[in-house]
Amino acid sequence: RFWPLSSQTRSAMTLRGKGTKASVEEMLERQNDEMADKLADKVQMLKQISLNINTEIDAQNKQLDQMDESAGSVMGSLSGTIKHLVDLSSQGGTRAVLVRAAGMFGFFLVIYFFSSRYTTD
């Protein structure tokens, strides 16, 4: 399919029979320059968008790395806590282990309650 002709192109084609070949070529060259400028603007816009996407990806990767480090730290602490609970259970009776576990659960429940209550969104 052919591209629709602009009014300048149609007038240039009309001038071809009536005017000089140089004036038609000048008009077509001007149109070509205008289209090249528009294309350059669109390429620049796409370049800026791709740079913005790259910046956003870098920021998200950094955030994911930080979350991974935090999760590793929490897992280390949790495994240490579980080891201590196992050691306590081997030392004391069942009742003592249950009391300690209930105390720790209560402590974390209180921390959760206060952190969720005083956290602003």
The DSSP string of 59-71 is: HHHHHHHHHHHHH
Helix (H) or strand (E) run with residue 47 in it: helix 21-91
- Determine the Cα–Cα distance for residues 47 and 40; give it in Å rounded to an integer: 10
Task: Kindly tell me the burial class for residue 33, based on how many C-beta atoms sit within 10 Å of its own C-beta (0-12, 13-18, 19 or more).
Answer: exposed
Q: Tell me, what's the pLDDT at 50?
A: 96
The structure tokens listed for 88 are 């306590």
Residue with more model confidence, 38 or 115: 38
Residue 45 above 70 pLDDT?
yes
- Determine the Cα–Cα distance for residues 89 and 68; give it in Å rounded to an integer: 31
- Can you give the pTM of this predicted structure? 0.46
Residue spans of beta strands (DSSP E) within 1-93:
none
Residue with more model confidence, 32 or 114: 32
Task: Tell me which DSSP letter residue 20 carries.
Answer: -
Q: Tell me, what's the pLDDT at 69?
A: 82
- pLDDT, averaged across the chain: 79
